[in-house]
Chain A
């Protein structure tokens, strides 16, 4: 049992990324503020990156590093567009509560 704590293996990193991903999912599901939801999405992307890099190290293959870099760039693009949408929404209706933004629903 002490070996679990003193010898860090690949499973530790993968389990940590699973924990971070779950926290991100919980943030998306539980919170109503759209900024917190976007931060939770960033958290999930980071957890996926951690998994990719762990597998890259496990296989000694650098393709995973290229994938992770591309994921980071896509996350940056997503944040730019998402925050622009948030600003545009807030300008019209003075709140960013996702439960009350239903104009595409009807």
Chain B
């Protein structure tokens, strides 16, 4: 298994080197800069899109297959290892590959959050709990015997076929299969005019302002999150508070573990 991981790392390194040498227009930093400006609702784009804009060239395909392979192999690694630390390492590889796929989907902010929260925080929490537990498994597999395994395999295969069958046939709203660059997000608001503001005001004395942000950038996601979805965002903060208090309350040692007075 070490050889498999090593081979994957070498493959990723080769891809990175090929990207750095500029053998092709680099599609890697998708979502960071893209110059096609198509206002929402207006389909006309004057310049023909290149591979970088559409995100569907051969280099993009190589990146996709590489990191899709890392994700699938890492997740299989997770559910087959007896050693829990090995499983966590497979999980980290999977999360890293999924973050790269987020970048390919122009979700640069979500990719960074994925790395920070999952690979950074959640996996460290898992490693700490494994360190506390540190007990080898007696019988790792829940299903034993050939009938159980065959039944589980058939059920998994059915689920996979049905899910892929539904998802593969999803048609984009504009009936295009090629992945054009997503349009920039236009955010409009009205603000109070500053002193000696040359900008025109509307009938209420406010200045209409319109800004463009790259799709998936932090500013665009923030505008969505703090504008339309501000209530779920605040609900999430309460949920996290409850979860932290609940985790401390559950994992706290019981009273008769330490009979110190005053510790409740």
Contact = CB atoms under 8 A, between A and B. Distances in A.
Interface residues of A, number: 77
Interface stretch (B1-9, B138-146, B200-208): B138-146
Contacts of B215: 57, 60, 62
Interface string A1-27: 000011111111111111111111111
Contacts, number: 262
B164 A77 contact: no
Contacts of B65: 5
Interface residues on B, range: 35 or more
A50 B98 contact: yes
A90 B132 contact: yes
9 contacts: A10-B172, A18-B167, A27-B79, A29-B143, A39-B87, A40-B78, A57-B107, A69-B110, A81-B243
Given A66-B224, A97-B138, 20 more contacts: A8-B104, A11-B168, A14-B170, A16-B101, A20-B94, A23-B75, A25-B159, A31-B142, A35-B133, A42-B91, A58-B172, A68-B107, A73-B236, A74-B239, A76-B122, A77-B239, A77-B242, A91-B254, A97-B137, A97-B139
Interface of B: 40, 55-56, 58, 60-61, 64-65, 68, 71-72, 75-76, 78-79, 84, 87-88, 91, 94-95, 98, 101-102, 104-107, 109-110, 113-114, 117-118, 121-122, 125-126, 129-130, 132-133, 135, 137-143, 152, 155-156, 159-160, 163-164, 167-170, 172-173, 177-179, 182-183, 185, 215-216, 220-221, 223-225, 228-229, 232-233, 236, 239-240, 242-244, 246-248, 250-251, 253-254, 257
